[in-house]
Amino acid sequence: MRAIVTRPGAGRAWIAELPEPALDADDEVLVQILRVGVCGTDRHVMQRDFSGGRGLPAGDDYLVVGHEAVGRVLRVGPGVRCLRPGDLVVPTVRRGCPTCPACDAGQSDLCFTGNIRERGIVGLHGFLAEQIVDREENLIPVPPELATIGPLVESLCTPEKALRRIGNARAHLPVGGELNGVERALVTGSGPIAQLAVMALRLRGIATWQLARQPQDGPAAELAQRVRATYVSLREVDLDQPQARLGAFDAIVEATGAAEMSVLMIGLLARNGVVDLVGGPSERHPVLIQAASLGGMVGKNLTVLGSVNANAADWQAAVRDLTAMHRTFDGVAADLITHTFGLDDVDRAFDRVPGQIKAVVEVTGD
Ligand code: BGC
């Protein structure tokens, strides 16, 4: 079968011919991969130093990339309980460590040891292949209407987890609702995670602002308008006094991954506000933080969270909400997929292209 692989530090991925995977255990499922989304993490994986084989699947000197997939069940082992051939599924990404209580409880997104493996990212082959095998517990059933936009389920898990954690962080407040009194929310960035976060908030009826670099009349602003969110270009904001233009927010999802933006968000929180950082800045440079921002954290009971990956509840919420978005926001979810490539076109699939939100590789299509 054909698959897309990378090697230590190669900086790119290419097509390879690999043996078809076989069912080894009773609870395993053979899945035909239909399409796979491309994400910034894939580019990091291709550039990463896998020295000493660290991060590569045991016994192999290459890694099949890709972790945002949708596929169709081809065959099931005798111990598989619910899935049947023909069912549409989305595979989860992270596989837990053998020793910690979080992984033991099925919450590998909260792993205490960090000895996790992630398909297509670290230690396990990914999904950019014509077929994959995984255990039934790692395959989330999705309705047929998500066949085309299914790769967005994985992207949506991140904002779902962020919203769940923001709700939890406000659970002690004497106010109600799923997000415990969040009336005004802000999302930063204009990539797929940011766009999906805006849509997830709008689905919950929350007044939502989006702040990003794109101009006031660009594609991100248009998407925001289509889900009745308010888009503000960073060019319109005085970074010394951002509240003057934006006001204050009960909840913020920071999805740019820029350290300066993460710090700026603290000054945009309302009393009892919560910001969740999902972008994960990785630059090695110091950022300036105003002492008064830290004072504000105390005086306003603020919470700064960071969150990675997602657990089963977030995957279920992502399937539920992507289906609802597909029905509610006329065509917006599908329009997040701006570029589609074939397996043979893989070089172009990983290029950064202006105006690209989500690129998807059609693996076997149908
Ligand atoms: C993936 C997550 C993963 C994280 C860290 C993200 O791109 O969506 O599933 O946990 O990278 O590797």
pLDDT score, position 355 = 87
pLDDT at 8 over 70: yes
**pTM, rounded to two decimals:** 0.96
Sketch out the chain's domains with CATH numbers: 2-149+336-362 (3.90.180.10), 156-306 (3.40.50.720)
CB atoms within 10 A of CB 109: 21
Q: How do residues 18-27 score in pLDDT, each as one tens digit?
A: 999 999 999 9
Q: For residue 78, with 0-12 CB atoms within 10 Å meaning exposed, 13-18 middle and 19 or more buried, which class applies?
A: exposed
pLDDT at 346 over 90: no
Cβ pair 135, 28 in contact under 8 A: yes
Residue from 43, 65, 90, 93 whose mutation best tests the ligand 1 pocket (most atoms within 8 A of CB): 93
Whether 118 is in the pocket of ligand 1, judged by its Cβ within 6 Å, is: yes
Query: In angstroms, what is the span from residue 158 Cα to ligand 1's centroid?
Result: 9
Query: What is the torsional sign of CA 111, 261, 193, 322?
Result: positive
Query: In angstroms, what is the span from residue 167 Cα to ligand 1's centroid?
Result: 22
pLDDT at 50 over 70: no
Nearest CA to ligand 1 atom 9: 309
DSSP letter for 21, please: P
Query: In angstroms, what is the span from residue 225 Cα to ligand 1's centroid?
Result: 29
pLDDT score, position 366 = 67
**How many angstroms separate the CA atoms of 258 and 189, rounded?**
9
Residue from 38, 45, 47, 118 whose mutation best tests the ligand 1 pocket (most atoms within 8 A of CB): 118
